[in-house]
Amino acid sequence: MHQLGTLEDLPQEYRDQLTQKNLVPLWPNMRAVLPPRVPTRKTGTLCWDYQTIRPLLLEAGQLTPMEKAERRVLVLANPGHGLSNMQATPSIYMGLQLILPGETAPNHRHTPNAVRIIVEGEGAFTTVDGEPCRMERGDLILTPAGKWHEHHHEGEGPIVWLDVLDLPLIYQLEGSWAMEGQPQVPSLARDKSFADYSAAGVVPNINFERDTQTAPMLRYPWQKTRACLVEMATHYAEGLLRISYVNPENGKSLFPSIGFGAIMLRPGEVISLPRRTTPCIFHVVEGQGSLSVDQGTALQWVEKDTLSAPGYSDITFSNTNSEAPAFLITADESPLHQYLGIY
Ligand code: GTQ
């Protein structure tokens, strides 16, 4: 590629005139926005180690009452994006949210889509448009764009989950806003939408028009996902054991922005993921191992840790336990990349 002219090549007076008129010459900046063959990636390879974060999260529980937080969250920010921008990837926000027994994170709704991945604790519910969804370890709880949601905790001990939102994307689109609501009065049975859709291949045919675009099933219990992966492993002795979470009405990703999946690593397995354009995050539900990106230094992980890796990279996972499998939940930007034709 040609070396292009720089800003310094231009007379200062000319540059000043451009600035005054809100104009920018492309050529000094062109290689930065259109680099040769591989994009610039701010998303780093990182591991957020739960055991070191947990005491800080519990301390937040003492330092900041719910009224002063509404959502008591420590955000897992990728430093490459600038910590204060609260981005795990260009489009994905992640945070660990804490609720103590008896507390409620008040009802609200907002334009970003959210999924909660339960990390620790029992007895909490997220009520989504009147449906209380039980929150158990490894479950995915969906609060799609615009749906009312509040979290409350009736169990003992703290509950912690990982929030995954398309907030950075919606924010950049100048479309991010929220509104507060009155406390919800549950109008539906617990986990009703899961019950509606839990017979795979059979969907409820009730006498009203179904919205097939918004993900209708709000709770994806981990035990179902895990059992599916374990079953797959009995049929496939090799190859990547991976499932995608889909909208049961249309088979598409849960959200137009973020795609969710889960991976099982067989005991002792070392496996490379297919090279893809999208950055990816990983939450370890069970097991221990290491992650290496582009043959870089291996990061060690154990259950409850969360990791990130950039797109356009070679990602290799090792399960360092030769006796037991490992399970990870994944989130990436593949639906967006597909929609945009850059996948
Ligand atoms: O639980 O509704 O981590 O609105 C960030 C924004 C969680 C939530 C977050 C939110 C929520």
> Does 23 reside within a domain?
no
pLDDT at 134: 97
- List Cβ<8 Å contacts ≥24 apart for 228-234: 229/262, 229/263, 229/264, 229/327, 230/264, 230/325, 232/264, 233/264, 233/266, 233/325
Q: For residue 279, give the DSSP letter.
A: -
Cα–Cα distances in angstroms (integers) from residue 308 to residues 93, 144, 231, 259, in the given order: 11, 23, 27, 14
Cα 234 to averaged position of ligand 1 atoms, centre (Å): 38
199 burial (CB, 10 Å; 0-12 / 13-18 / 19+) is exposed
Contact between residue 145 and residue 112 where contact means Cβ atoms under 8 Å apart: yes
Contact between residue 155 and residue 118 where contact means Cβ atoms under 8 Å apart: no
pLDDT at 207: 64
Q: Whose CA is nearest to atom 6 of ligand 1?
A: 71
Cα 87 to averaged position of ligand 1 atoms, centre (Å): 14
> Does 19 reside within a domain?
no
Residue 239's domain is classified under what CATH number? 2.60.120.10
Rounded CA-CA distance 149/130 in Å is 8
Query: What is the position in ligand 1's atom list of the atom closest to the CA of 143?
Result: 2
E strands present in 41-90: 46-48, 73-75
Rounded CA-CA distance 226/316 in Å is 21
Query: What is the position in ligand 1's atom list of the atom closest to the CA of 75?
Result: 3
At 338, which amino acid appears? Q
Q: Whose CA is nearest to atom 10 of ligand 1?
A: 71
Number of residues assigned to the chain: 343
Do strands 159-165 and 124-128 pair parallel, antiparallel, or not at all (unpaired)?
unpaired
Cα 82 to averaged position of ligand 1 atoms, centre (Å): 20
Q: Whose CA is nearest to atom 1 of ligand 1?
A: 71
3-state secondary structure (DSSP) of residue 211: coil
> Does 21 reside within a domain?
no
Task: Please state the φ and ψ torsions of residue 79, each to the nearest 5 degrees.
Answer: -60, -30
* Residues contacting ligand 1 via CB (< 6 Å): 71, 73, 95, 97, 105, 110, 114, 149, 163, 165
> Does 332 reside within a domain?
yes
CB within 8 Å of 142: residues ≥ 6 apart: 113, 114, 115, 128, 215, 217, 218, 219, 220, 254
Mean pLDDT, consecutive 10-residue segments, the chain of 343 residues? 94 98 98 96 98 98 96 98 98 98 97 98 96 98 98 95 98 98 96 92 77 90 98 97 96 97 98 98 98 96 98 98 98 98 98
> Does 131 reside within a domain?
yes
Provide the H-helix boundaries in 121-263: 167-172, 192-197, 222-235
Write down the pTM of the prediction: 0.97
Write out the residue range of the structural domain in which residue 259 sits.
46-340
> Does 33 reside within a domain?
no
Cα 19 to averaged position of ligand 1 atoms, centre (Å): 39
Task: Please state the φ and ψ torsions of residue 77, each to the nearest 5 degrees.
Answer: -105, 135
Query: What is the position in ligand 1's atom list of the atom closest to the CA of 178?
Result: 4
> Does 320 reside within a domain?
yes
**Considering its fold, how many domains does the chain have in total?**
1
pLDDT at 20: 98
Test site for ligand 1: of 71, 153, 180, most ligand atoms within 8 A of the Cβ: 71
> Does 40 reside within a domain?
no
Contact between residue 286 and residue 258 where contact means Cβ atoms under 8 Å apart: no
> 82-101: b or e for each residue (b if 16 or more CB lie within 10 Å)?
eeebbbbbbbbbbbbbbbbe
